[in-house]
Amino acid sequence: MTPEAVTPEPALLEADRVDVVRGGQYLLRDVSLTVRAGEHWAVLGANGAGKSTLLSLLGAVEHPTAGTVKVLGRQLGRVDVRELRAHLGHVNPRHPLRSPLTVRQVVLTGTTQTIEPDLWHRPTAEQLDHAEELIHTLGIGHRAEHAWTTLSQGERGRVLIARALMPEPRLLLLDEPATGLDLTAREQLLESLDELRARYPEVASVLVTHHLEELPGSTSHALLLRDGLTTAAGPATEVLTTELVSACFRHPIRITHSEGRWSARTRRGAE
């Protein structure tokens, strides 16, 4: 008896042969990416490789010059992007909040996707409980009543992840979430991401970074960009190799993978 074919999970994100041109220059060229439920992608490359540009397409912030992008099965250019963004959790470490909202208040703004609290919106009991769960899962329960303006960069990063998860998105987009963090704060952030991914296995994510040391152990797939072009994409253990990463960064780099984490060092004596 012939076994039944396994039907793959439907794609949450699909970029098909995408170009982005600005001022006559290609920021992305012929880039394709498919992200399915439960997958956790890392996008790596040097400065100017096109990482943030790609994330802006996946987050329905920008439109491609050529090619197609589908978010949750809806094609950009043929759908109200405000509707799509309600199902996306976008974590921007440059969150423009300036007022001294408490951690709890900042997290609750995720329900309205506003910077400041919506005075016309009163959180439900379920939303309040969900906020408390996320705050404690991300290890910031002891700071729940503290003002945003008093938080460290690492604490702010974890608050923003909790905020992004408030509307229970199907996709979480993280733009260099470990930027500016010291060693302890970085490790706390990565542990929190691993715990969140285990707790919400149906949520997919795309994380942009320059550094392999900033990848959580739960990273499942990787895409390497160089000068707006894809140099490799696929399962993380097949893509994050010495040869492929060295080619992407145009530098002889030795990659090691130990206890679920990656590290990179210059290869001594390599040309």
Per-residue pLDDT of the chain (271 residues; tens, 9 = 90+): 455 555 566 789 999 999 999 999 999 999 999 999 999 999 999 998 999 999 989 988 888 999 999 988 888 888 777 777 777 888 877 888 888 899 999 999 988 888 888 888 888 999 999 999 999 988 888 999 999 999 988 888 899 999 999 988 888 999 888 887 888 888 988 988 998 888 888 899 999 998 899 999 999 999 999 999 999 999 999 999 999 999 999 999 999 999 889 999 987 654 4
Closest C-alpha to 163, from 202, 119, 131: 131
Tokens 């974890």 correspond to 158
How far out from the chain centre does Cα 136 lie?
A: 21
Q: Which residue has the tokens 């399962």?
A: 235
- Rounded to whole angstroms, the Cα distance separating 175 from 109 reads 19
Task: Write down the domain spans for the chain.
Answer: 1-87+170-271, 95-168
Distance separating alpha carbons of residues 49 and 208, to the nearest angstrom: 11
Element (H, E) at 93: none
Closest listed residue to residue 177, CA positions, set 140, 216, 144, 221: 216
**Cα 218 from chain centroid (whole Å):** 13
Q: Which CATH superfamily is domain 1-87+170-271 in?
A: P-loop containing nucleotide triphosphate hydrolases (3.40.50.300)
Phi-psi region of 176 (alpha: psi -120 to 50; beta: other; left: phi over 0): left
Q: DSSP 3-state assignment of 53?
A: helix
Q: Distance between CA 145 and CA 105 in Å, rounded?
A: 9
So what's the pLDDT on residue 7? 56
Distance CA 59, CA 34 (A): 14
